[in-house]
A = this chain, B = another copy of it.
Amino acid sequence: MKIQEADAKSLLLTQGLPIPDWSVARTPAEARTAAERFFAAGAGSVVIKAQVLVGGRGKAGGVKLAATANEAEAVAERILGLSIKGIPVRKVLVAAAAVIVKEYYLGAILDRASRRIVVMASAEGGVEIEEVARATPEAIHRASAHPLLGLFDYQARELAFAVGLGPHLKSFVRIAKGLVATMKVNDADLVEVNPLAIVRETGPEGPVERLVCLDAKITLDDSALVRHPGLEEMRDLDEEDPADAEARHHDISFIHLDGTIGCMVNGAGLAMTTMDLVKRAGGEPANFLDIGGGAKADRVAAAMRLILADSKVDAILVNIFGGITRGDEVARGLIEARARQSREVPMVVRIVGTNAEEAAHLLRKANFETAASLDEAAEKAVAAARAVATEATSAATPATGGAA
């Protein structure tokens, strides 16, 4: 689960990391109030950043400076009117604009291959780090945290010297260890600070330079949310497709796509394979949907609602290989769901494995179209969708013509 920058910063702050103060505003007026506070505290200008869970907000005009409270209000209004990659901006973060001396990259990630938390640092911060990885991989320095003890101080020191942050050694060590601590405490997969920056500030005895986290990105392990009720509250429901919430509620793994063939499968690998075969047969999957192991009739019904809620769906392909999941349970769920469904969509069902015969009997009785193999099921579903689309086009064309 991704969380917003402001929430990520809160989690880093809890670990004692140096993060300049910020406010979150939902309206231009709130942004103005926040900006006034920073100006009163001596800020030369403020930065206003769109809070969206997709990347590239800078390029999309979602990050702007403002030199006065008036300007801050106006800028916030513009940003709050944006849609970034289809996501409407509903919140902005307001903070005093930092005087940046130099930007760095620092990230901690769970690395599958080494089964370690890997901490990465680079002197090329503030830019797309994938770009750096591609163009100059040697500019990214890595340290592999001990699987039982975490990141040792000396490893953080090595990174600090590698990226030229020797003069900020203690601060860097604290921040790098804080990233790993943040991962552990919150069960995060990823904790990124980009940029980590040396900023110039005015202290009581003149200008001082210090190392601070200017941005923060955290991804949480969904499997661990049950033990972090506080983090579950950071889920941004504003940005979430309502279908996602319903899928989550029913323990269904669901990702909405652009095609016309709704898929209902048990198992993630088989679900992806089903999508691949739909594509091979010339169709486009409308979703990834894994009903999980041991699904009962009610979960099948919920999955059907999710699929049908997508108006683009022209046909449904159900592919179940029973193991823990009992085929007859699924069949019953399908029959029940069809009886109550809002619109009629052709459906192709393939059920093999545990209790497949009983399932076949039930489906036959209810006049479902079935298939023996997955390949056949995919082909039938694509054909059915094509027929629906052709019908719709031929139905629509005269109507449009008639209105013209």
User: CB within 8 Å of B: which residues of A?
Assistant: 148-149
Contact = CB atoms under 8 A, between A and B. Distances in A.
Nearest to A146: B148
A286 B163 CA distance: 59
What is the oligomeric copy number?
A: 2
2 nearest A-B residue pairs (beta carbon): A148-B148, A148-B149
Contacts of A148: 148-149
A150 to B, nearest CB: 10
Contacts of A149: 148
A148 B148 CA distance: 7
A149 B147 CA distance: 11
A149 B146 CA distance: 12
A61 to B, nearest CB: 49
A281 to B, nearest CB: 50
A203 to B, nearest CB: 28
2 contacts: A148-B148, A148-B149
A184 to B, nearest CB: 13
A350 B38 CA distance: 70
A149 to B, nearest CB: 6
A148 B149 CA distance: 7
A179 to B, nearest CB: 21
A149 B148 CA distance: 7
Nearest to A149: B148
A148 B145 CA distance: 14
A148 B152 CA distance: 14
A121 B149 CA distance: 28
A239 to B, nearest CB: 38
